[in-house]
Amino acid sequence: MAKKVLAVDDSATMRQLVKMTLTRAGYEVVEAEDGAKALEKASAETFDLVLSDINMPNMTGIELLRSLRGLPQYKFTPIVLVTTESQTEKKQEGKTAGATGWIVKPFEPEQLLAVVTKVLRS
């Protein structure tokens, strides 16, 4: 069965890019436009991977990450943060909050696919 990815970003362009890339690679992608909506969706169904932007209105990616880690079904789920080079300090913060990894914007579709394959391996 196709693995399910929750793509969280307030930018429709980014969500579109993620969806295009991953859908083509055989993943099932669900979109959410901020942390709060993502949390809602993640509670309603279970995802194999959460890919989240950091700086978003309503609930940031870091807050989302903390909340997800608090849910039993997401205790060990890979959660990848999407950062930019100007946010290096966020990597550590994300890591402490339980992030599995990160991908730096802007990225090529192949880079995204490499990270997703890496964390979903096993």
Partner 1 sequence: MELGDLEQLQAGFRHEADDLLTDLGGALLLLELDPLNAEVVNRVFRAMHTLKGSGASAGFRRLANFVHHVEEVFNRIRNKQLQATPELIDATLKACDCCAMLLNLGSTDDDSPLPLETEVLAAMRPFLPDMDKATAKAKANASTGQASVAARYKIGFRPNREIFFSGTDPASLLLELTDLGEMETHCDTGDLLAADPFDPEQCYLRWEVFLDTKQPEQAVRAVFQFVEDDCEVSIEHQEPAASARTESKAARFRGATEQAFSALGFALEQFQSGDENLGLATAHRAAQTLIFACKAHGHAGATIAARKILEAVLAQQVGTLDGGWLPKVKLLIEAARLAVDSPAVAEIVTSPLPGNAVASEISTAPEAATAAASIRVDSVKLDALMRLAGELLVARGALPAFADRVEHISGEESSKSMAKEMRDAGAKVSRLADDLQATVMSIRMMPVRQVFQRFPRLVRDIARSLDKNIELHVSGEETELDKTVIDAIGDPLTHIIRNAADHGIESKADRVGNGKSAIGRIDLSAYTRGSNVVIEVKDDGKGLDAEKLKRRAVEKGLLTEAAVAVMDEEAAFKIILAAGFSTVDKVTDLSGRGVGMDVVRNSVEALHGAIRIQSEIGKGTRFNIELPASMLVSKGIRVAVSGHEVVLPISTIRNMVKIPKSVVRSVQGQQIAPVRGAVFPMLWLAHALSFERMEERRAELAVAIIEAASGPYGLVVDHFLGEVEVVVKPLNGALAKVPEYVGAAIMGDGKTVLVVNTERLFSLQRSLPTAHNDLPIALPG
Name the residues that contact partner 1, by CB under 8 A: 10-14, 16-17, 20-21, 33-34, 55-58, 66, 69-72, 75-79, 82, 84, 86, 91-92, 95-102, 105-107, 109, 118-119, 121-122
**Closer residue to partner 1 (CB): 41 or 58:** 58
Return the number of the residue (2 or 12) whose C-beta is nearest partner 1: 12
Of 111, 7, 13, 9, nearest to 60 by C-alpha is 9
Q: How far is the CB of 35 from partner 1 (least distance, A)?
A: 12
Of residues 41, 44, 35, the one with CA closest to residue 66 = 35
Retrieve residue 98's tokens: 């339980």
Asked if 78 contacts 119 with a C-beta cutoff of 8 angstroms, the reply is yes
